[in-house]
Amino acid sequence: MVNVSQLIVQSNVAIPDHYVCPQGKVIPFTKVFSDHRTGTKKKEYRARKHVCLGCPIREQCLGKSAQEKKFSVTYYRDEYERNIARVNGPQGRYMKGKRQSTVEPVFGTLTQFMGLRKINTIGLAQANKVMHLSAITYNIKKYLKFEQGRSKSGAGVLALAALAKRTFRLLFGAYIKHPKLVYNF
């Protein structure tokens, strides 16, 4: 079977939107439709039966029972290709490396080691609060590890730990619904 990726997209003045098969035959654009399974907008390309008659690779291209070449691609293919080119460009590679070295390790630590498996809130604003609180706990934990290595007496570390406890009680105190629920920080 000849894959869609093996076909060549070309633009001519006469036929503006079409593919060219490996044998040089034009497969023109037919229609725009909505895919019933996914609900996405697609473009259909179809070569009529007489175009493929006598073609040496007809069996490989169409299969045994098909009479004409027909395939569909996403309506937004140009945008996909532009985005792929942007991501694979020098600025995109730089930003991807930056994200992988700064954001993703923190998120991985939060999900794998600090218990942020699921965000059980409704709405983006509440989920944003949970993520901010998680980031605060991550930063405080990291800062405490840093301070333990630096301080000799430990008094500064205890003061920071007490400050962190007071802050968490203040922050989470508003979220406690039942008076008998007590969170030990």
List pLDDT tens digits, range 24-48.
Answer: 888 899 999 999 999 999 999 998 8
The amino acid occupying position 1 is M
Q: Tell me the β-bridge partners of 18.
A: 10, 28
Q: Has this prediction a pTM greater than 0.95? A: no
- Tens digit of each residue's pLDDT (9 = 90 or more) over 51-67: 888 888 888 888 888 88
Domains of the chain, residue spans: 4-82, 89-118, 119-185
Mean pLDDT across the chain, nearest whole number?
81
Instruction: Write out the E strands in the chain.
Output: 8-10, 18-20, 26-34, 41-47, 69-74
